[in-house]
A and B are shown apart, each in its own frame.
Chain A
Amino acid sequence: MENLLWRNSKLASKFIAMLIACAGAVWVIVPFLWAINNSLKTHADIFKPHAIIPFLQFTPTMDAWNFVLGDPQVLNCLFSSTLVSVGTTLFVLLIGTPAAYSLARFEFRRMKSRDITLWFLSQRVLPPVVVLVPFYILLAQLGLIDTWTGLILLYSTFNLAFCVVIMRDIFRDVSKEVEEAARIEGASLWQIFWMIALPLSLDGLIVTAFIVFAFSWNEALFASAVTSQHAATMPAFILASRSTRGVDFNFAAVNTILAIAPPVILSFFVQRYLARGLSFGAVKG
């Protein structure tokens, strides 16, 4: 987005901005580098002092990687995570976005939109562990223990609130004038929603999708409680780095890297699309 903000800024301001950005990047990257380090260490080296630079201060080994990648369960978990996260995101966007639009544009007789939104929000308040067992029983009754469907069911329920709450705000910001103009032209309510409101709030949709995807991808508690084998996801696999000897930190590091790779790679690709999407905001006057 070429704008005057950057062009007209003083050099000092630009420099500081760049500095902050680089510091931020370092802050983000260092733990990842440390994870890579850990993944290349033997058990003995993990807690060896001054083992920071590979080859110089410790001998890296592929043992941990071989061990983890040699377990067929890893691919299964990565696949499950992907399937469940994508499925949840799609389903949440499907039923959450219309609901958010409805709450943004209209008022309801019995309850204020704001209160309905609050009700959705309240779904996130309760710590999931309190309802873990009832949800387990529910899934068991439905025969969905250790299935992808079961996880998608759960995650959709948990993450719907994000979509509704965030998108409602995004929709409220979208220009009403454009919609009214279209209405006068004779467009139906549905057409307005589908062809005007949605495209204008694309960046909000993408952010919501990111968030729902991230929360589904990382959910560890329910994943490890309601799956044992077939539908186990990466977080469950990561939890399993904890064995009878405590945590195998090098295996955990490998798992961490494996678990974050798909979403990060995905987000690199989506970001390019996001760049285009962000310029849609320019329509607002």
Chain B
Amino acid sequence: MSQHHSEKEFNELVAGYFGGRITRRRFIQQAAKLGISAALLSRIVPATYAADENLLDSSPASPTESPITKERVEFLKSKPYKGQTINVMVLKATVGDGLKHWVPLWEEATGGKVNVAEVPIDTLHQQIFSDLQTTHRYDAYMTGAWFYGDFFVPKEPYIVEVEPFRKDPKYPFWTPDEWIPAMKTLYTWQGKVYGVLFDGDCQILYYRRDIFDNPENQAKFKEKMGYDFPNPPKLMKEMHDVATFYTGWDWNGDGKPDWGISLHAKVNEQGFFHFLTLAAPYVCSPNNKFFWFNPDTMKPLINSEGHQRALEDYVKFLSNGPKEAISWTLGQGWALFLSGNAVMEPTWGDLPTFAQDPKESKVQGKVGATIIPGTSEAFDPIKGQWDKFDLNTVGNTNGGTWHCVISRFSKKQEPTYDFLAFMATRKNALWNCTHGFTGVQPGMRFEYFPPAGTGRVEEWVEQGWNAEEAKRYLEAYYKNLTLPVQESYLRIPGTAEYWHELDVRVSAVLAGQTQAKAALDDCAQAWERITDRYGRDKQKALYQASYAS
């Protein structure tokens, strides 16, 4: 088999298959002709359902669902949910708005009605679990990924699996197999899928590519630091040097000194996610995937040498930004980058999205993206030793990854699932990603550009994106999510509490109120107390379970 020739054809084949233009059978036939082995094929094209054969590109019965099964077209003829109202609780935010967008379209197609309640993000957790435990007024809740542990505490989980519904071809078509595995984990528990596709968060490094590409800056850097400018930085050390280099002088021509990095660290405002993202390569590696606890003893790992060094370095990063940043909210951190005054920011996909909006930013067309730099040395907290690497990069899925789950107590699980799946069909999911107001980021392969997926740059440009920016953003995002080593996401009961204890201590260290080692040791103690309160054995079992999926 000739490499080049077949690779191109194969890519086209793949694009055609995922784009719903050719059926699975034909794809396998053609691929086999190209000499692709059956084993490889079965990994690319996992067993899907017979429904695959019935997939149409689209149908006027439900114009936004694409692809759509013949059974569904038939099913919709009777306006099946006429007279039924489902109640969905979401948080009042971008993602809530994203969900609301689909309500009239689904209602039109199916005859059902959706009643959306928006609650403040502060009370979302309390509202969800109060409802689950007492009033049972809602059929579905939009949840953050870290709530999952709490759903599975009772013997019978609070939420229901979606696979039994999904198998039925009368529902909108989507498939969990198209998830990038790291993202799929957040929607599943012990191998079973509970969430329906919506958002897919992770943090990567965004930077000012126009400033980085500037040869004058590069020359200055080489002069000052003694080595070629890393464009973009690949090692943590390089990232530090770049941040330091760009702090304190006016590189954007506005007359005021600028900053090397923008971070935000206000307590209770998701600031600690920055620390988690940047600390990952200090602890996670091909040798160790455990960031939080020792899976055998449930003892916290948070005060390991690796974590400590990560925190000390994190403090250094914050000295390359305004002092007030330690009390900033997320939006304030973004504002510094979007106004053009910071050269880097490790954060969520909202940043490049907002960068395209002239009302929010001055930097459209200037944003580059790359994975979080890695380390040359990572600490294995289980073995207690430092391991050396050429370049240890770690991916992450940090963030809310907001999506809906169905309540076990719902008496309308079918229309509820129908609505959720409606938003998850390829066309609609892609629409969510390209329209910034939804706050949705891509978690499924097809949402990316070829060769990874079947997305088209034109769709993004239509929404006001700078083409180059969209490409770089998606490329880096995809690379992060598919890195072999991933920082695991904590999903056990009490996650909010564990995180908060870390959050306040990181904040205290940043404010100079305490030292890294003392703070982390204290944090570990606090975590032990939390674990004891929830029941050590139960926590251990759930911790191990959350890794198993």
Contact = CB atoms under 8 A, between A and B. Distances in A.
Nearest to B118: A240
B92 A43 contact: no
B89 A228 contact: yes
A240 B126 CA distance: 14
A245 B360 contact: no
A145 B439 CA distance: 30
Interface in A243-275: 243-249
Contacts of A247: 329, 331
Contacts of A42: 359-360
Nearest to B335: A47
Interface string A100-142: 0000000000000000000000000000000001001100100
A239 interface: yes
B93 A229 contact: no
Contact of A228 (B117, B122, B362): B117
A21 B330 CA distance: 40
Contacts of B117: 228-229
Contacts of A136: 130, 134
A133 B118 CA distance: 20
A139 to B, nearest CB: 9
Contacts of B270: 246
B125 to A, nearest CB: 11
A44 B362 CA distance: 9
A224 interface: yes
Nearest to A248: B331
A225 B126 contact: yes
Contacts of A243: 91-94, 121
A46 interface: yes
A243 to B, nearest CB: 4
B94 A242 contact: no
B135 interface: yes
B297 interface: no
B255 to A, nearest CB: 12
A138 to B, nearest CB: 10
A276 interface: no
A130 B166 CA distance: 43
B332 interface: yes
B360 A43 contact: yes
B95 interface: yes
Contacts of B329: 245-247
Nearest to A73: B118
A239 B335 CA distance: 21
A245 B359 contact: no
Contacts of B335: 43-44, 46-47
B95 A244 contact: yes
Contacts of B354: 43
B334 interface: yes
Given A136-B134, A229-B117, A44 B127 contact: no
B365 interface: no
A240 B270 CA distance: 16
Given A48-B339, A245-B350, A240 B359 contact: no
B400 interface: yes
Interface string B88-120: 010111110000000000000000000101111
A161 interface: no
A240 B94 contact: no
Interface in B37-61: none
A63 interface: yes
A245 B350 CA distance: 9
A41 to B, nearest CB: 10
Contacts of B95: 244
A93 interface: no
B120 A240 contact: yes
A44 B94 contact: no
A236 interface: yes
Contacts of B336: 47
Given A236-B120, A248-B331, A44 B361 contact: yes
B137 interface: yes
B338 interface: yes
A195 B270 CA distance: 60
A229 B92 CA distance: 11
B170 to A, nearest CB: 30
Given A136-B134, A246-B331, A240 B92 contact: yes
Given A63-B359, A225-B127, A240-B92, 7 more contacts: A43-B335, A46-B335, A47-B335, A140-B134, A244-B330, A245-B94, A246-B270
20 contacts: A43-B354, A43-B360, A44-B339, A44-B359, A44-B361, A47-B335, A61-B359, A145-B135, A239-B120, A240-B92, A240-B119, A243-B94, A243-B121, A244-B91, A244-B439, A245-B94, A245-B330, A245-B331, A246-B266, A248-B331
Interface of A: 42-44, 46-48, 61, 63, 73, 133, 136-137, 140, 145-146, 224-225, 228-229, 236, 239-240, 242-249
| 10 closest cross-chain pairs (CB), A and B | A246-B329, A243-B93, A240-B92, A229-B117, A239-B120, A246-B330, A240-B120, A140-B134, A228-B117, A246-B331
